[in-house]
Amino acid sequence: MNPQTISSVLALINAAFALGGEIVPIALKAYNAIKGESGMTDDQLIAAAETLNDADKQKLADLIASLS
């Protein structure tokens, strides 16, 4: 993992621990996902990115709709 990415993710984890609650598992999930990249094939990487992209599309659409 690139050092810059590590420090960015660690900053997120630090802030998460300071904030507590649900943010901590979010930060850890991000850390584990990035750490697991090296074991994935190219196809698996893209498939994972696509799946997450679709999920986030829905999550954001739902969030925006809930605020209307």
Interface residues toward another protein, by CB under 8 A: 2, 4-5, 8-9, 11-12, 14-16, 18-19, 21-23, 26-27, 29-30, 33-34, 37, 40, 42, 45-46, 48-50, 52-53, 55-57, 59-61, 63-64, 67
Rounded to the nearest whole angstrom, what is the least distance from the CB of residue 43 to another protein in the complex?
Answer: 9
Chain centroid to Cα 61, Å, comes to: 18
Rounded to the nearest whole angstrom, what is the least distance from the CB of residue 12 to another protein in the complex?
Answer: 4
Give per-residue burial for 11-42: e unless 16+ CB within 10 Å, then b.
ebbeebeeeeeeeeeebeeebeeeeeeeeeee
